Structure formats: structure tokens, C-alpha cells
Structure 1
Amino acid sequence: MSKPLFFNAFLMNTGSHIQHGQWRHPDARQAEFNDVRLWIDVAKTLEEGLFDAMFFADVSGLYGPAGGQYVDNVHEGLQIPSSDPTVLLAALAVVTRHIGLATTSNMMQNHPFNFARQLSTLDHISNGRIAWNIVTSTQENAARNFGYRALTEHDARYDWADEYLEVVYKLWEGSWDDGALLKDKAGGRFSDPARIHKIHHDGARYKVEGPHLPSPSPQRTPLLFQAGGSERGIRFAARHAECQFIVTPNPEVAQDHISRTRALAAATGRDPQDVKFFQGLSLVIGRDEAEVRAKEEDYLRYASVTGFLTHASLGILPDGSRLPDDTRLIDIPNNGGQAHVEWLRRATPDREPTLADLANGRIRRGYIAGTPEQIADRLGQWQAAGVDGINVINWRLPGSYEEFNELLLPTLQRRGLAKTEYAEGTLRHKLFGRDRLPDRHPGARYRGAFAPALAATAGPSA
């Protein structure tokens, strides 16, 4: 019997997220994304399938060059229109009991003081089921939407993120001591002022006095996801991430990435097993070979090459024209997401990959097609490479997850690759067996750091 994998549903509050073109299918409901009833239906389906989390992606701008045309983005519905997933989580928290709720937010779009307050509020509403996918943004348009002249250089964005994390750690972990919330009706003391502290953060980008306004939520710090795969992104994950989302092209590349990241985590003083890895995959599930082939052909019939290339944001010129398909990726300036290019390069070691490779890779390499037994075999290979869970990327909502529940889940459970019931407790407790960050995590150093007796000697910095 295998160890159960974790399963997340990879989602976005938009019409076309990853599998571009699929929204046009008559059975697809992605176009209804502004109707909360769609998401309630999806959430209930996912809890029936014992999914661990609804993992919502997000963007704060358009894909493509600064000042460029965005006709293709709009025609494809490619993450425009899109709505704020963080707001949506509040609605989903009250119609679910077990499933985790993960939102994506980058450094530019929300000041850390306000963001920390929002996520603490959500963690209270959900009884401890909130996660944060930490991203640094890859879009020039996003930078301009928040008043910046240009997107900050790739590695410098992670320096920015390091300080952002320092601020929210101080608020979540250090501003309120355990026992500060009293609710003492007889004594007329709601909280103990001696145990609530200003953080007085004074850094390169942020000056935050504090204190944190919410009382500590069940997890204090939400479960921390991260999706970077560049060299700087790996170092960031090794320091901060509890779960990392990867989309490597095969188990061999995944195994190398996981080994490197865990080794770096150990070098920072963390337990390397304190980081779990979730591979992103779409699934084509059929009862027999004929059904598998028919479904695969149907998905590929609706797939939009234009959508995939626009999403990649490489090779697009400001006038909307595109570089030739045989343009090598190494010859295209890239200040955006570098991990996909690096992983593709490792999957084609005999030559430099091209724009055509990038498009075909996104369309044809990102899924497993087979019967339930065949898919279970493939997932076992990913697990053997060190993968702890799968971010299941839907083709169509809600059908992809209904098929998972009906066709695949019983086989996975029989093989020991999926759980048969939810564990109780917070999202972190379900994944790690604890509610709080472990003592080895850098965020934990702020516990008690602002108490008067310790303030003179603590002097914490990330």
C-alpha cells in the first residue's frame, strides 16, 4: 500500500485559467465564474472527493509586453475578466467544513499590514483552513497598475518578498502573545494590553508600527505555498515555503528540483520534510482505452494555441505580432516567470527549446491520459520522485472534478494513494499534524519577540 497523496483543485476566479479554449465547450461552466453558486457547487464536489484544498491563482494585470496589444487576451478570456479570489474565500468558508482555501497575492497588490489582517480574518471565519500562495508577479502591466514604472527585476522581487514576509510574520506571530485575548466579562477586560505589542518594523520598503488588529487565528500564520522554480525562487522556497507548487515536465526533473530545494531548506536550519511538493497535472480519465482517446481528442479540439502562447508572455511584440515559432527561448528577454523555461530546458537537454516547444509542452505535456489504473500507476511514479501531492488542473468546471470523484478516486483509495476520510483540525494540521509554524521556521522566531522582557535582547530580523 502506498502513502496517500494530497490533492488540491487548481482554480482561478476567471473564465480561462490554464486550459485555454475549454470555456467554449457546451458543458463547461467556467464562463459563470462571477456566480458564487458555481463555486459553491465546485466546493461541495471537491469535499465529496476529499480534496485537501481549493487552490486559487490570481493576477493583477495583463499578460504580454508593457503597453502592448491585448486583443488576444480579451478574445480568449485569458484571466480577463477575473475577480478577487480572496473575497470569494469568505463565501466558500461558510459552506464547507474541511477543505482548505488558498488564495494568491503578490507583494504589489496589498500592503502587508492590510493583507495580514485580511488573512487573519479569513482564518477565523474558516476555523483555520486558509493558505497563502506567495508570488512576486511576472507582469509588467501589473506593476503599472500599482504606480510603478516597470516590473522590479526578477531576483530583487524576492528581496522585496523577504521583507514583506518579515512584516507579516511579526504581525501574525509576534504582535499578540498567547493568552492575550481574555474576554473577561466580569473584569471588563477584553484583552490584556501587556500581551499585545507594536512591532515597529522599519525596513527598506515598509514602516509598520502595529499592533496587529485581529486576535490570533487558529493557524496564526496561514499555510504557506510558493510557486517559484528559478534559482532565487528555490532559495526563497527553501526558507519560507511549507508547500511548493511545481509544474515540472516529468518525474525526473521533479526529483532533481525537490532534492535541491530540500537540501537548501536543511542548510537554513529547517527540517527538509517541512516542505511538501505539489505537482500540477490535468487528467484525462476513461473507463477504457477508447473512452480515453475520445476524451483526449475532445479536449485537444477545444485547446487554444493562441491562448497558451499569450499566457506564456514570451515572443509577443507590442504591436501584437509574434516572434517565429522556432525562436529559441534563451534568446528572448525574460523578467517574468523563469521556472517554466528552466524546467523545459531540463526536459530537452539535447538542444535549446523554442517557442513552439513551449506551446506544445503546455498543451500536450501537462496531463496524464489513461484508465484509472494507468493514472494511478503514473501518480505512483510522481510520488516515488518525491512529490507529496497533486494540484489537479481542470479542463472544464465542474466536470473534471466530478470525473475524478466517480472514476479515479475509488482506484486511488484502493491503491492507498488517496485518503478515505478527512482528518479533523486546521489545514496545517491536516497536512503536517500541527496547527502552528514549526519552531525551525523563520516566522517562528517572532514569537514573544516583542514582549517587554525580551525586547531589549530579541532584535529579530529575517
Structure 2
Amino acid sequence: MPKQLHVNLFEMNCVSHIVHGLWVHPDNNRHRFNDLDYWTELAQLLEHGEFDGVFLADVIGAYDGFRDGVDTALREAVQIPSNDPLLVIPAMAAVTRHLGFGVTFSTTYEPPFAFARRMSTLDHLTKGRVGWNIVTSYLPNAARNFGHADEVAHDHRYEIADEYLDVLYKLWEGSWDDDAVIVDRANRVYTDPAKVRYIHHHGTHFRVAGPHLTQPSPQRTPVLYQATGSRAGIAFAGRHAEVVFTGGATQADVRANIAAMRVAAVAQERDPAGIKFVVQAGIIVAKDSDAVAAKLDAYRRLLSVEGKLVHAMSKVDYTRYPRDTPLAQVPGADPSRWARLALAGGTAVTVGDVLDALAGFDEDRFFVAGTPEIVADAIERWLDEDGIDGINLRQYLSFETARDFIELVIPELRRRGRYRDGYVPGETLRERLFGAGHARLPADHHGARYRDPGALSHPAAPLRLVEAAPLQANARMQS
């Protein structure tokens, strides 16, 4: 059987998420993000297309590094205004039966006990269709919003996150036995007290007594997603992640990134097949080449260079320099960041080259524009040659991007055996990814150790950093 594609729609509870400037397009619905109808309509559309899920990114700070403030971000609506992503999931779940939900939440600034209850609640309300994208928050403004003078050091954030996950596993996996809830009306006993326990976590960063306030949910622990590229992040993902967002400029980069992550999983005594790999993909499709060209032209005319500079937290405002200015003469410019332009052009890079690159799409290995056959050919290469398992579909217009993929690409993928023929009734999100009977964390996963009540009182071994180079991927752009 050929490998079938897993697909999430890449979303965020805001106006401008990744492709900045297109919110002004008359057919775009981004301005409706405050309306519940937007989210229920989207959920029903994605379920009609039998997507794996909708993946909700998030940040808890403003992009205020460009031009020393938040003004440009506000004008361009670059992830501000934005709303809490967790709150739209129950509404989407209420109008669907199968669609999965991945949601982003940071481990750095809010305590684990309350978050554990929120996620268990969502797992109940969705009947096991929820996953969590684990992030540690990289924006300096996020740190200032929670009382810190500056951003928490990168590797220290992962140390905090590692203990954070241990607390959650103890609550989700160990605090309640599977058969603790008995609903014995005759004897007026809802829960058997002998089968619920405190966790008594006393760690470096957290002290949590427990017990967990929520009875066991279908998955207990939600599906664990992570985007990473650093040495600490690789080790963390090797211990915790079930789905990793990766990437790479070339096929060799992508395959090397996947291999490095599998090595990290083995170092944590996990089956390396227990991790799926997903990339952010840009797909623009139409019925014929003329329609594809027209769509590309319409999108390119609306792209915002300033929005891209805001999102990149650029310390350099390239728009203030004449186009023929050599990059070497721009104070603060990082030539290595634009090395690919020099390699492509064979000449010294100018400000104009940089602006032209910013004015284009992210036309990397995982971008394709074409007819359904051309798009399906590219997806098959990604699956077979790069070794990925799925995509986060980057949106250009809501709901056009998803609708085009559903109406034009999915039928072609199905003809090739690359897309499911239907949902499996009652399956959890983890079962959709890993197969029937795999609703819970696998036994070799770090979190499964806390199913033994005796493990609750034993601290986990410190996270070991594996010897690995940083991955060739931009994890930040997955946020």
C-alpha cells in the first residue's frame, strides 16, 4: 500500500497568520475570526474534506522587534489582534464527529495543573480528537507580559518544559486508574476513592499535589506535537513528541532532519517509528495552468513585505534603503541569512534582491502551484523521497485554500491511493495517526511510566541532550 497523506489546515485565531497582506483580498474571510460562525463553517468544510484536523497556532506576545515597536504589526494585523485558540475547539467539535484539533500552548509562563484540566476537558468534549502543540514561547514581549524582564534562556525553557510534561503525565496517566469511575447508583458511589491518588510532585520548578480534577478522558494524554530545530529541542522531542513539524531546503536536509529525530527517540528508549513527520506546505491549485497563473498573480500583488519583516522580527528595515544598495553596506544586515540569493544570482546581494525575495511566497521544497496532477506529483515526492507523513496546509485565503484542496487535490490523491477513503467511526486522533487500538500513549513513551502509581514519587532522569547539529528547518514559522 502506498503511504497516505495526513493533512491539517494550518490556522490561527487571528487575522494574518503566515501569508501576510492577503487579508485585504475581497474573498478572504479572515476578518471574521471573532465570529463563532467562521469556526463552525470551517470545521464543517474540513470534515467534508476528511482532513485529519485543524491545527491552531498561537503566540502570547506581540511581534514588536521590527521598527522598535508594535505599530507595524498592528497596522498589518500580523498575529495581533489574536484570540485564545482553545476556546474555539468546543464549538468546532459540536458541529463535527471526526475532525481532529491540534492546539498550541506554552509551557513557560502558565502553571501545569490548570492546563491539565483544560486539555482533559477538551479530550472529553471532542471524544478523543485533540492534540497539543508544545511550545516554550520565543517572543521577548511574551516574557514581559508574564513579569519577566526579558526572554527566558532557550535551553532553560526546555528544562522547564521537561518538568512541566512530567507533572502533566502524572496527572493524566497516573492520578486516576482506568476503572476509578464506577457510577454505582445503588451504593451512591460515583468514583472509587481507592483508585484516585495525589501525585505529590516536588520538583525544581513546580510543586503540585493533585489529584487530577478530571476523570480519565479517551486519550488521557492528548497527541503531542512539537516544532523544533535546536539541540535541546531535538532531545525534548525525542522524549516527548509524537508528531514533529520539520522541513529543509533540500531532500537531503529533510531526510537528515528526520533521521536525527529518530536517533533522539532511540536515545530515549523509544521506537523511532513512534514519531510522525509533518511539514508546512504551500499549495496553490486550479483546474488549468492559466487559472493557476491568475491566482498566483492576484496573491503576489497583495503580499506584504512589511508584514514579513514584522514576523521575522527583523532588526533591519530594508524598505528604507535604495534598491541598489549592496547588502554589505546595510548596518545590522546578516549576509548569511541571504546566502541563497548570492548563490542563485552569482553576484553581490542588494537590498532590492532581499525585497524581491520577501515579496515572493515561501517557494521552498514544500511549495507547489499547478493543476491537480502537478500538485499530486509533488505530494507523492514529498511522501516517498523526503519521507514525510503529512502536511500543515498553509492558507492563502479562507476558505478558498481548503476548498481548492478538497475539490481538486483530494480526488486526485484518492485515485492514486494516497488519501483515505473515509473516516473510521469513533477513532481518536492518535488512532488516526498510529492505527486502531492506539488511543493511548505507547508503552515505551516516557509518559507511560506514570501508569505505575509507584513511579509518581520517583523523579524522572534529567533530559539528556543528544549530540546532534541543529535541524535545517525554521521551527519559528510553525508558531
Structure 1 residues 413-439: Cα deviation after superposition (integer angstroms, max 9, x where no partner): 101121110123110011112100001
- Closer, same or farther in 2 for the Cα pair 1:381/1:347, shift >3 Å? farther
Give the deviation of 1:301 after TM superposition. Answer: 1.0
Between the aligned partners of 2:459 and 2:157, the Cα distance in structure 1 is: 25
Structure 1 residues 35-65: Cα deviation after superposition (integer angstroms, max 9, x where no partner): 1101111111101111001100001001133
Asked whether the 8 Å contact 1:64–1:314 carries over to 2, the reply is no
SS at 1:17 equivalent: coil
Give the deviation of 1:361 after TM superposition. Answer: 7.3
Structure 1 residues 376-407: Cα deviation after superposition (integer angstroms, max 9, x where no partner): 11111111211000110110101111111111
Instruction: Write out aligned runs for 1:283-432 (5 A).
Output: 283-316=283-316, 326=327, 356=354, 359=358, 363-365=362-364, 367-384=367-384, 385-424=386-425, 425-432=427-434
Residue 21 of structure 1 corresponds to: 21
Instruction: Write out aligned runs for 1:48-197 (5 A).
Output: 48-65=48-65, 68-197=68-197
Give yes or no for the alignment of 1:440 onto 2:441: no
Structure 1 residues 42-95: Cα deviation after superposition (integer angstroms, max 9, x where no partner): 111101111001100001001133993111100111111000010111111111
Counterpart amino acid of 1:409? I
Structure 1 residues 221-276: Cα deviation after superposition (integer angstroms, max 9, x where no partner): 00000011222222211111000122433433211111111122112111111000
Between the aligned partners of 1:161 and 1:397, the Cα distance in structure 2 is: 33
Structure 1 residues 119-155: Cα deviation after superposition (integer angstroms, max 9, x where no partner): 0000000000010000011100000101111111112
Between the aligned partners of 1:162 and 1:347, the Cα distance in structure 2 is: 39
Between the aligned partners of 1:325 and 1:212, the Cα distance in structure 2 is: 59
Give the deviation of 1:3 after TM superposition. Answer: 1.7
Between the aligned partners of 1:461 and 1:235, the Cα distance in structure 2 is: 13
Between the aligned partners of 1:249 and 1:97, the Cα distance in structure 2 is: 37
Give the deviation of 1:299 after TM superposition. Answer: 1.1
Between the aligned partners of 2:76 and 2:233, the Cα distance in structure 1 is: 29
Residue 244 of structure 2 corresponds to: 244
SS at 1:120 equivalent: helix
- Closer, same or farther in 2 for the Cα pair 1:209/1:321, shift >3 Å? farther
Give the deviation of 1:372 after TM superposition. Answer: 0.8
Between the aligned partners of 1:224 and 1:96, the Cα distance in structure 2 is: 22
> 25-34 or 284-293, which moves further after superposition?
284-293
Counterpart amino acid of 1:418? Y
Residue 9 of structure 1 corresponds to: 9
Between the aligned partners of 1:345 and 1:268, the Cα distance in structure 2 is: 36
Between the aligned partners of 2:258 and 2:294, the Cα distance in structure 1 is: 35
Between the aligned partners of 1:185 and 1:2, the Cα distance in structure 2 is: 51
Counterpart amino acid of 2:358? A
> 268-277 or 354-363, which moves further after superposition?
354-363
Structure 1 residues 324-375: Cα deviation after superposition (integer angstroms, max 9, x where no partner): 893799x779xxxxxxx99x98999899999939736764336211111111
Instruction: Write out aligned runs for 1:193-208 (5 A).
Output: 193-208=193-208
Structure 1 residues 176-202: Cα deviation after superposition (integer angstroms, max 9, x where no partner): 112111111111111111111111111
Asked whether the 8 Å contact 1:61–1:145 carries over to 2, the reply is yes
Give the deviation of 1:314 after TM superposition. Answer: 2.8
Residue 230 of structure 2 corresponds to: 230
Structure 2 residue ranges without an equivalent (≥5): 463-479
- Closer, same or farther in 2 for the Cα pair 1:392/1:325, shift >3 Å? farther
Between the aligned partners of 2:271 and 2:15, the Cα distance in structure 1 is: 39
SS at 1:364 equivalent: coil
Residue 34 of structure 1 corresponds to: 34
Between the aligned partners of 1:130 and 1:272, the Cα distance in structure 2 is: 22
Counterpart amino acid of 1:14? C
Asked whether the 8 Å contact 1:289–1:370 carries over to 2, the reply is yes
Structure 1 residue ranges without an equivalent (≥5): 334-340
Asked whether the 8 Å contact 2:3–2:418 carries over to 1, the reply is yes
Residue 471 of structure 2 corresponds to: none
- Closer, same or farther in 2 for the Cα pair 1:348/1:159, shift >3 Å? farther
Between the aligned partners of 2:256 and 2:301, the Cα distance in structure 1 is: 34
Counterpart amino acid of 1:390? I
Counterpart amino acid of 1:404? F
Between the aligned partners of 1:261 and 1:16, the Cα distance in structure 2 is: 31
Q: Give RMSD over aligned pairs.
A: 2.9
Between the aligned partners of 1:455 and 1:392, the Cα distance in structure 2 is: 39
- Closer, same or farther in 2 for the Cα pair 1:224/1:455, shift >3 Å? closer
SS at 2:169 equivalent: helix
- Closer, same or farther in 2 for the Cα pair 1:148/1:116, shift >3 Å? same
- Closer, same or farther in 2 for the Cα pair 1:455/1:131, shift >3 Å? closer
> 98-107 or 58-67, which moves further after superposition?
58-67
Between the aligned partners of 1:394 and 1:271, the Cα distance in structure 2 is: 33
Asked whether the 8 Å contact 2:303–2:359 carries over to 1, the reply is no
Between the aligned partners of 2:326 and 2:173, the Cα distance in structure 1 is: 49
SS at 1:56 equivalent: strand
Between the aligned partners of 2:131 and 2:85, the Cα distance in structure 1 is: 12
Identity of aligned residues (%): 42
